[in-house]
Chains A and B, each alone.
Chain A
């Protein structure tokens, strides 16, 4: 391939930007204090207002889907857990469920309950992390510090149950690796009560604190129609009133046995998102308490052979950020033939770009963080020639050759 394959896209991009003067272009990222992970957004400003946002993704693409094809089924489970550093468990859960459907084995009931407990603890920890970050982006450091201190409680509980704080490594195909420790029931219920109280307290803060209200109310408005058209998932769908939640719509693990209701809000602004996630903390805390108190007896794991029968299956779960989706295809070997995953950030990015338009630059961190972005999960790569509309894929070896040729030409 020649290097012209990338230049037309560049040329078009710069032609589109010619109408704006350089002073009006503010780069947002790839390295920016408001972004936890590298991602690039080119903001075209008119004064303080944003006229256009041009995203460029792919800075932390790691090729996990390809890597999965070279690893055994079980190993993949722990690799996919490392897709995300925050909602790690739900990735392995979703992948595991897809694989389990291909086998003839059933997941024990106790394991399903333990999965729910871990998944909900993870949701609480993820939402707390997000609320803290929102405080940070709004310049409200105290909220950040307080919320993250409460998050430690969850991390400690998770460590006690699974042995790890972040990457739980708790799932196995057809079960979980460790049983719940003895005598934790009352302690977990007590901690959940505490978290519930804190969630109510933080809700009071964000509802009454005037500076916080001014930063969040009527910011990032979107209608339910637009959100549905742009395929928003998770909290980004629920905050405009859409009842999208995989836990309720298509229950997995033990969610069909646990009584709970999802939260939705109508307003569709950043403040509604804050309220929504804080309310979800209460729901999740109640689910954990219920699951711990109604934990069935029995084994937690079924041993399975290392070869998974041929077939294909898709699975979806409700991650803290929204719906995640895994597709698995097996040809009856020791490794998967193909694994495809779709993370909620990818699904929510079009919505984020839509609501960024017309906001002021002061709102960019708030609105971008509002979707709870996780760019490391999301990054994808594709080759596309905009002049001929040709798409293609390269193998690792071809990519290497292209790189060598490219730099050899540049040396001349």
Chain B
């Protein structure tokens, strides 16, 4: 039994699966954007260029690694590895092939929230450690953006947790067996998606890595292995963010039973469909928007989205009190 858990954690649906999904999301992202913009996108490596992200990853691994002379060497070398852990670890709390997640416990949602904050903190430290003009500006933007999006994001997650009366992802998914959270709290879902785009630095929130302003933002000084892993981590974070949205608001792997099909396979298929749907929504949004400025982003999150999600929470609680909605 213990071996099975270890295998699950490492291969499927754990680390390796997550990394594979990261590559797949990268490819889907590039392909969707390309087709929306009237281009073709990756097409050489593998069928329809599906292996292109892996080829890019391997190529970067082979490249020379340059250490900036001003950088804080210890942080600069180890922080990418610390950053890589965050989304990988978080994925273990999300039920993928059955109602039970690999490393689930009663309050794992708090751990996920901690890991989200941890990832942002590591990026800020990592950015600051490379000590150049561009990364300094990027660090300021990163921290300000994090402070902006974190509150509405956490409130949106809390909204789901409040309604389903559970602080574990497993429990929240199980609580949606009657009705998905998105139908109860559509605005919380919208706020979560917008905050997620800010967390992933996708347009219109690609402010900390705006390439036409501050080169590559906090990634500027990285090269070789560190860069390849940082890029991969961003993609894995993408997968995790979408998976969390699918679990918290779209009912995870829940769906109608089909006779003759094993339930775990069905659960997995439903989960993947929802994961892809969330991912696709973000691909389309990010391709059709321009980048805003950091002040405008902060204004959006604090002045519009935070009150909106607070109103949503109040509404859900009022409906439960009034007996219109039944808390599951």
A residues with CB within 8 A of B: 23, 25-27, 32-34, 45, 48, 135-146, 149, 209, 211-212, 214-215, 360-365
Task: Kindly provide the distance from the CB of B92 to the nearest chain A CB, expressed in whole angstroms.
Answer: 34
For B136, the chain A residues whose CB sits under 8 A away are 23
For A33, the chain B residues whose CB sits under 8 A away are 211-212, 215
| Inter-chain contact A140/B290, CB cutoff 8 Å | yes
Q: A142-B37, A146-B37 are in contact. Are A361 and B137 (CB under 8 A)?
A: yes
| Inter-chain contact A25/B213, CB cutoff 8 Å | no
For B133, the chain A residues whose CB sits under 8 A away are 23, 25-27
Q: A25-B133, A27-B133, A141-B37 are in contact. Are A363 and B204 (CB under 8 A)?
A: no
| Inter-chain contact A215/B137, CB cutoff 8 Å | no
Chain B residues numbered 208-226 whose CB sits less than 8 Å from any CB in chain A: 210-215
Q: A145-B37, A145-B39, A361-B213 are in contact. Are A140 and B137 (CB under 8 A)?
A: no
| Inter-chain contact B212/A141, CB cutoff 8 Å | no
| Inter-chain contact A145/B38, CB cutoff 8 Å | yes
| Inter-chain contact A364/B290, CB cutoff 8 Å | no
A48 (CB) vs chain B CBs: closest residue: B294
Set A26, A45, A214: member contacting B293, Cβ < 8 A:
A214
A145 (CB) vs chain B CBs: closest residue: B37
Q: A26-B137, A361-B137 are in contact. Are A140 and B38 (CB under 8 A)?
A: no
| Inter-chain contact A138/B39, CB cutoff 8 Å | no
| Inter-chain contact B213/A215, CB cutoff 8 Å | no
A232 to B296, CA, bound (A): 30
B291 close to A (CB within 8 Å)? yes
A144 to B136, CA, bound (A): 29
For B211, the chain A residues whose CB sits under 8 A away are 33
For A360, the chain B residues whose CB sits under 8 A away are 293-295
For B137, the chain A residues whose CB sits under 8 A away are 26, 45, 48, 361
A356 to B83, CA, bound (A): 37
For A364, the chain B residues whose CB sits under 8 A away are 213
Q: List 7 A-B contacts (CB under 8 A).
A: A138-B291, A139-B203, A142-B36, A146-B37, A149-B38, A214-B292, A361-B214
B residues with CB within 8 A of A: 33, 36-39, 133-134, 136-137, 140, 203-204, 206-207, 210-215, 287-296
For A211, the chain B residues whose CB sits under 8 A away are 203-204, 289-292
| Inter-chain contact B38/A34, CB cutoff 8 Å | no
Most buried by B among A139, A361, A363: A139
For B134, the chain A residues whose CB sits under 8 A away are 26
A139 (CB) vs chain B CBs: closest residue: B291
Most buried by A among B211, B290, B295: B290
A149 to B35, CA, bound (A): 13
A155 to B294, CA, bound (A): 38
Task: Kindly provide the distance from the CB of A247 to the nearest chain B CB, expressed in whole angstroms.
Answer: 32
For B204, the chain A residues whose CB sits under 8 A away are 139, 211
Q: A23-B136, A139-B204, A141-B287 are in contact. Are A215 and B33 (CB under 8 A)?
A: no
Task: Kindly provide the distance from the CB of B93 to the nearest chain A CB, expressed in whole angstroms.
Answer: 33
| Inter-chain contact A140/B212, CB cutoff 8 Å | no
For B213, the chain A residues whose CB sits under 8 A away are 34, 361-362, 364-365
Q: A149-B38, A360-B293, A361-B137 are in contact. Are A142 and B212 (CB under 8 A)?
A: no
Task: Kindly provide the distance from the CB of A268 to the nearest chain B CB, expressed in whole angstroms.
Answer: 20
| Inter-chain contact B290/A362, CB cutoff 8 Å | no
A145 to B41, CA, bound (A): 12
Task: Kindly provide the distance from the CB of A372 to the nearest chain B CB, expressed in whole angstroms.
Answer: 16
A209 to B290, CA, bound (A): 8
Task: Kindly provide the distance from the CB of A24 to the nearest chain B CB, expressed in whole angstroms.
Answer: 9
Most buried by A among B136, B203, B211, B293: B293
Q: A34-B212, A139-B206 are in contact. Are A362 and B293 (CB under 8 A)?
A: yes
A141 to B203, CA, bound (A): 10
| Inter-chain contact A138/B290, CB cutoff 8 Å | yes
For B207, the chain A residues whose CB sits under 8 A away are 362
A362 to B290, CA, bound (A): 13
B141 (CB) vs chain A CBs: closest residue: A48
For B140, the chain A residues whose CB sits under 8 A away are 48
For B215, the chain A residues whose CB sits under 8 A away are 32-33
| Inter-chain contact B293/A139, CB cutoff 8 Å | no
A135 (CB) vs chain B CBs: closest residue: B290
For A136, the chain B residues whose CB sits under 8 A away are 212
A27 to B289, CA, bound (A): 28
For B290, the chain A residues whose CB sits under 8 A away are 135, 138-140, 143, 209, 211-212, 215
A311 to B186, CA, bound (A): 77
Q: A142-B37, A149-B38 are in contact. Are A365 and B292 (CB under 8 A)?
A: no
B136 (CB) vs chain A CBs: closest residue: A23
Set B33, B37, B39, B210: member contacting A139, Cβ < 8 A:
B210
Task: Kindly provide the distance from the CB of B35 to the nearest chain A CB, expressed in whole angstroms.
Answer: 11
Task: Kindly provide the distance from the CB of A376 to the nearest chain B CB, expressed in whole angstroms.
Answer: 20
Q: With A23-B133, A25-B133, A32-B215 given, can you name 17 additional A-B contacts, CB distance below 8 Å?
A: A26-B133, A33-B211, A45-B137, A48-B294, A48-B295, A137-B212, A139-B291, A142-B36, A142-B37, A142-B288, A143-B290, A145-B38, A215-B293, A360-B295, A361-B213, A362-B207, A363-B293
